[in-house]
C-alpha cells in the first residue's frame, strides 16, 4: 500500500518520538508498504524514510522546489517528485496516499492533519487518517477537537474522520484491517 506519513522535520525532539518514527518505518518496510511523504531528510522525516528503505520498502517523496534549493531533500528516495508550491504538494500526497498517518510533529504536521481531515469530509474519501499518539503527544489537540464538538464548531460525526492509535504497530493494523 502507499501510506502517506506526516511527521516532524525537527532534529531536536526527544528519543521516544525518534523511536516511533524508526519503528513505523521498519514495520512499513517489512510489510511491503511504500512511504509517501514530504521528501525531507531532516528530523523524524529522515529517520522514517531511512528506516523504510533499510527494511526493504520504497520511498516516494513530494517536495517543493524551495526546500530542494535549501538542500533539505532526501535524494536517496526511489522517487523524488519536485513541485512548485506547498498546495501542489499537499494535493499530490492526498492523491498518492491510500491511507494517512500522522506521527508527532509541529506546525507543518498540524497543517497536514487539518488539511487531510477537511479534505476527507468534503470529498467523503474513505481513506483512513490515523494519529499516532506517542507519549500522549496528541492529547491536547484531541482535547481541542472535543471542544469543537462540544461547542458545535464541528459536527460530532467528524470524529469518524480520524482514529487515534497508541503506537505505530496499532496504526498499521488499523490501516491493514480497514483494507480487508
Beta carbon nearer to ligand AMP, 27 or 44: 44
CB of residue 35 to ligand AMP, shortest distance in Å: 11
Q: Are 101 and 130 in contact (CB under 8 A)?
A: yes
Contact between 108 and ligand AMP by CB under 6 A: the answer reads yes
Contact between 107 and ligand AMP by CB under 6 A: the answer reads yes
Q: Enumerate residues 110-129 that contact ligand AMP by CB under 6 A.
A: 112
Contact between 6 and ligand AMP by CB under 6 A: the answer reads yes
Contacts of 165 (CB under 8 A, 6+ apart): 130, 131, 132, 133, 171, 174
Alpha-carbon gap, residue 31 to 171, rounded angstroms: 13
Strands of the sheet with 79-83, listed across from one edge: 79-83, 58-64, 34-37, 2-6, 99-102, 129-132, 163-165
- Which stretch in 7-15, 25-33, 123-131, 147-155 sits in contact with ligand AMP by CB under 6 A? 7-15
Binding residues for ligand AMP (CB under 6 A): 6-10, 38-40, 42, 45, 63, 67, 72, 105-109, 112
Amino acid at each position: 500500500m502507499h501510506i502517506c506519513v506526516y511527521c516532524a522535520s525537527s532534529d531536536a525532539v526527544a528519543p521516544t518520538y525518534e523511536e516511533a518514527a524508526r519503528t513505523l518505518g521498519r514495520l512499513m518496510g517489512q510489510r511491503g508498504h511504500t512511504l509517501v511523504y514530504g521528501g525531507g531528510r531532516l528530523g523524524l522525516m529522515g529517520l522514517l524514510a531511512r528506516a523504510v528503505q533499510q527494511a526493504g520498502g520504497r520511498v516516494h517523496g513530494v517536495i517543493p522546489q524551495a526546500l530542494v534549493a535549501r538542500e533539505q531533500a532526501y535524494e536517496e528516495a526511489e522517487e523524488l517528485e519536485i513541485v512548485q508550491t506547498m498546495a501542489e504538494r499537499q494535493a499530490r500526497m492526498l492523491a498518492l496516499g491510500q491511507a494517512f498517518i500522522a506521527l508527532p510533529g509541529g506546525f507543518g504536521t498540524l497543517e497536514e492533519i487539518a488539511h487531510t481531515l477537511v479534505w476527507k469530509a468534503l470529498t467523503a474519501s474513505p481513506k483512513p487518517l490515523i494519529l499516532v499518539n506517542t507519549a500522549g503527544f496528541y492529547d491536547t489537540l484531541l482535547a481541542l477537537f472535543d471542544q469543537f464538538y462540544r461547542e458545535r464548531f464541528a459536527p460530532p460525526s467528524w470524529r469518524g474522520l480520524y482514529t487515534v492509535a497508541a503506537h505505530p504497530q496499532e496504526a498499521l493494523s488499523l490501516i491493514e484491517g480497514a483494507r480487508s
